[in-house]
Amino acid sequence: MTSSEVLLQHRTESLQGLYYHHEGVSSDASLEAVCVSLEGGGRIFYSSATDWTLMVDRCSDSEIPSWCYPPENWAVDRLPAEGRLLLGMCLAVDDVSNEVGEIVGKRIRYREETVEVLAGEPLRVAVY
């Protein structure tokens, strides 16, 4: 089952960021992935691959992707979004492609909100 199919079958509990803390210092944290937490368990992480395409990882509730090393320098925390997001059941997941057809993002549509994650430096997330 693809991550898009999983999103379409489960309610979204929260949208958070995965941050890297250089040498454990929280003041210099950088957003490295967007984490979609699903009702009933599980997380989907969207991040930038080394070629700036979108990378997708599925993990259990307590896990972070295996590329997060050392794990103690990583934390899942709030995104700098305004207010409470109204998510719930996902209605559609659309790929966002670049000019040569590579998938560089996802547009995740809910009844009240649309979340767009775009790979690159920096990783970008927009809610509208």
Residue-wise pLDDT tens digits, 2-38: 999 999 999 999 999 999 988 756 667 889 999 999 9
Alpha helices in the chain (DSSP H): 3-9
Whether the bond between 122 and the residue before it is cis, its omega within 30 degrees of 0, is yes
Give residue 24's pLDDT. Answer: 55
pLDDT tens digits for range 64-86: 999 999 999 999 998 876 556 78
SS3 of residue 9 by DSSP: helix
- Are the C-beta atoms of residues 17 and 35 closer than 8 Å to each other? yes
pLDDT tens digits for range 34-63: 999 999 999 999 999 999 999 999 999 989
Q: pTM of the predicted model, to two decimals? A: 0.92
Query: What are the boundaries of each domain within the chain?
Result: 3-127
